[in-house]
Structures are given as structure tokens and as C-alpha cells.
Amino acid sequence: MSDPQTRHTSTPDTSHLEKINLTEAIQLIRHAGYPDPSSDTAANSLKVLQGVIDTLCTLSMHDGLTGLSNLRYFQIALKRETHRAARDGTPCVLLMLDIDHFKTINDRHGHPAGDQILKTVAKRLKQGLRPGDTLSRYGGEEFAIILPNCPLKNAICVAERLRRGIAAEKFPIDTRQALSVSVSIGAAQTKAETPPDPGTLLKSADENLYKAKALGRNQCYYEKPVATEVSSDEKSALFRKDPAKKSKADKTFNKKTKQA
């Protein structure tokens, strides 16, 4: 019987890999600006194939224009984070953002100008988030941000900071002209559901985005959670002693004092 270590360290037969046509895949990788896995002359066929597969996986999960993760990755991340929030009992907030009047920008200044706006907005959004947050291009001029382990009130602060930062900036579209841009934001937080439902969270955030648009744009809309804390007046009412009972107790105490 052969030694187990010998079996694990044996060189795999890669001769059949020479017949695989990777020409179109490698052309796609080059066009996307990624390193060509076949350019490494020291790499064998198996290593080249693995490099092509890894790069194509990366391309399939990212948006070609902005470099952000795309809708496919967002759907995977949303499911993962909503289940984690339910498992750990931590809050998770989804922000849906839309660039206001983006069609007007494309119509007046052309699609290259619109593309430049998208890339710059994506860059600004990414700069304002934590490493563990997920920022994706949802589609068109819409972005999605997943904020794990983040209470709603903190998420609203993040959303407002991003919104104000974009509204205050001038976005260059060529060497002579810069535009002002604003975004509308809808926010929603996970609820204590079993099992967790990423679809419901997405629907709530998307509906709140449309409400932000309907209310005038350039704002963040969210459903305020129902207050569960007891107010100071309610506490006073709950713990205030009954005057009648207090008077009766005082009389009993005074009577016993006199008898003594």
C-alpha cells in the first residue's frame, strides 16, 4: 500500500487541460483590465485554468462601470446578513439610494456624463462606509447598502452623512463643467422574524425610497419604530402613591403613637 503522504503530494495529470479553449475567457479578462492568467510562463495548465475561473467569478459579482458589487452579489449578501442578524439577535439595516433626476442628466449632458456621475457617487459612498458594510450597484442609478450590526438610529446618521456629502459636492463631467447632484434614500431595519425574510426588508426599504422621492427628493425616509419605552409621566402615574391610602396609613400611625 502506498504512503498517504505520497498520494497527496503526487502531481496531477493536466495533459487533458491543454485541449480546453480559454481564448474568449482570457480576452474578456484582458478587456476588463484584470491580469491575464496565461501570461505567467511558469504556470502549468491547471494553474492557468484556476486563474481564469477565479477571475471570471470576480467579474460575475462586480459591476463593470463602478467596480462595486453587483445585484447578484447583493442578493447573496442580503440573505447572509439577514440570517446572521436573526441568529445573533443584532440589528441590520438596508439603505436603498437613488440619484435624483438622473434621466435629466443623461438627456441634457449625455450618457458619458451620467457614467462619470455614477462612478464618482459610488466612490463617495464607499469612502463613507465601514469595511464590513456591503455597497452594491442595484441597477441603473440605484445603489444598495447593507449595514450589519447597526441600530436604525445609527444607520440614519450614516445615511444623512452620505446624503449631505453628495449634495454639497460638485461633480465634474468634463474639463469645463461640474454638476450638483442629490440622492434620495429609503431605510429599513430587520425585524424579529423566524425565519428571516430578506425580501420583506428589501420591499420596505424600496417603498421608503419612493416615499422619499414623493416628499421632494434629497432626503432619507424611514418608518419610525413604535415607542416601547415608558415615559416619565407614565412612570409617575404607575409609581405614584394613592393619596387616600397614604392618608389612611398616616391616621393609623398617629393613632398608634398616641396609644403608646
- Cα separation values, 101 from 38, 185, 196, Å: 44, 14, 34
The answer to whether the bond into 195 is cis (omega within 30° of 0) is: yes
Residue type, 234: E
Catalytic residue among 24, 141, 160, 169: 141
Distance CA 196, CA 79 (A): 8
Residue type, 156: I
Is 141 tagged catalytic? yes
Segments in the chain forming alpha helices (H) = 4-9, 23-31, 45-60, 71-88, 102-109, 111-127, 152-167, 198-214, 232-239, 243-259
> Which residues belong to the active site?
141
